[in-house]
């Protein structure tokens, strides 16, 4: 009888622990209110960014596929499936949170908005492929660590066509951004730096040229810029190394146009 009693006691304790665990589960992060409307015809400029102070997210004239790419930090070429309108149709979104949140939390909220309002469903497939590994150069890091509080600004902005200024840039964002610069190589950039902080830097390089443009035809101040690979090494103290590795693909299973509000 005592052994039976002990079994029942253990089961009761397990049940209580399960209930407590469920009660401790954090609430799903969502925006308090969100307005989604198709962009008016004739709109040219577009942007997507966090609202100052971490109070939400705003987008103007942005296709849904780009939203997915930004919020999940995955190159658009690795997003597969879905109807044509996720590339061709553009939306304006004004999403407000009920307080101030971190940038990571805002991205989670936006991911949940895509699931709730666009009914986005997808699965991931990992396939062996060509990648660029981002590592720290043996000569040492040349970026400056930035430990200031989050400012919710876009981390990397252009100063001109060949120079970009980074402020509080995490390696996850830098890897995604570099992958966009070398996307014609069809190699995603995989962060293998081991760096967990945020960094300031200036990066100046000659972007990859279209096939019909010769380097000799460029102005001297542009023509003499280093390649992105040399610039990353010499200006940031990092390396982009061609390797083979797992490439994560996001395969869209279902998505719908949202109703206007």
pLDDT of residue 124: 96
CA distance 77 to 216: 30
* Confidence (pLDDT) at 7: 40
| Distance (Å, whole) CA 17 – CA 7 | 15
pTM confidence score: 0.73
pLDDT higher at 15 or 47:
47
Residue (of 155, 198, 216, 205) closest to 181 by Cα position: 205
Confidence at residue 24, expressed as pLDDT on a 0 to 100 scale: 53
What is d(CA 192, CA 171) in angstroms, rounded to the nearest whole number? 9
Residue 25, pLDDT above cutoff 90 = no
What per-residue confidence (pLDDT) applies to 12?
Answer: 45
Tokens at residue 66, please?
Answer: 């780009």
- Reported as a single tens digit per residue, the pLDDT across 97-156 is 999 999 889 999 999 999 999 999 999 999 999 999 999 999 999 999 999 988 888 899
What pLDDT does residue 20 have? 43
* DSSP class per residue in 226-240: PPHHHHIIIIISEEE
Mean confidence (pLDDT) of the chain = 88
- 142-146, 169-173, 175-179, 181-185: least confident range: 181-185
**What is the model's pLDDT at position 10?**
45
Q: Taking residues 76-101, report their average pLDDT.
A: 95
Return phi, psi of residue 61, to 5°: 60, 50
Q: Check residue 194 and give its pLDDT.
A: 96
pLDDT of residue 45: 82
Per-residue pLDDT of 4-15, as tens digits, reads 445 444 444 444
Our separate counts of H helices and E strands in the chain read 7, 12
Residue that wins the pLDDT comparison between 254 and 103: 254
Please report the pLDDT score of residue 8 as a whole number: 45
**Are 37 and 76 a contacting pair, CB within 8 Å?**
no
| CB within 8 Å of 64: residues ≥ 6 apart | 85, 86, 89, 91, 114, 118, 255
What average pLDDT does the segment 81-87 reach?
Answer: 97
pLDDT for the residue numbered 27? 86
Least confident interval from 19-23, 36-40, 229-233: 19-23
Average pLDDT over residues 171-194: 91
The answer to whether 154 and 141 have CB atoms below 8 angstroms apart is: no
**Mean pLDDT of the 237-258 span:** 95
Task: Give the per-residue pLDDT at 250.
Answer: 97
Q: Is the pLDDT confidence value at 221 over 90?
A: no
pLDDT above 50 (res 91):
yes
R_g of the chain, CA atoms, integer Å: 23
* Per-residue pLDDT, 97: 96
């Amino acid at each position: 009888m005592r052994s039976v009693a002990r079994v029942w006691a253990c089961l009761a304790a397990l049940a209580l622990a399960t209930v407590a665990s469920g009660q401790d589960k954090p609430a799903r992060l969502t925006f308090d209110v969100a307005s989604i409307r198709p962009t008016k015809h004739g709109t040219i400029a577009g942007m997507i960014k966090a609202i100052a102070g971490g109070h939400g997210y705003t987008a103007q004239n942005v296709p849904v596929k780009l939203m997915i790419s930004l919020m999940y930090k995955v190159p658009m070429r690795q997003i597969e499936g879905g109807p044509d309108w996720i590339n061709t149709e553009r939306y304006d979104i004004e999403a407000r949170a009920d307080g101030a949140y971190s940038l990571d939390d805002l991205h989670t909220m936006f991911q949940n908005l895509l699931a709730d309002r666009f009914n986005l469903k997808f699965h991931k497939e990992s396939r062996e492929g060509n990648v660029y590994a981002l590592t720290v150069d043996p000569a040492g890091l040349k970026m400056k660590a930035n430990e200031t509080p989050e400012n919710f600004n876009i981390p990397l902005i252009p100063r001109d066509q060949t120079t970009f200024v980074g402020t509080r840039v995490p390696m996850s964002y830098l890897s995604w951004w570099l992958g966009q610069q070398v996307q014609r190589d069809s190699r995603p950039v995989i962060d293998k730096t081991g760096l967990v902080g945020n960094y300031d830097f200036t990066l100046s390089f000659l972007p990859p040229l279209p096939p019909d443009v010769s380097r000799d035809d460029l102005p001297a101040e542009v023509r003499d810029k280093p390649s992105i690979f040399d610039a990353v090494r010499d200006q940031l103290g990092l390396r982009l190394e061609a390797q083979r590795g797992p490439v994560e693909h996001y395969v869209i299973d279902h998505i719908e146009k949202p109703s206007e509000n």
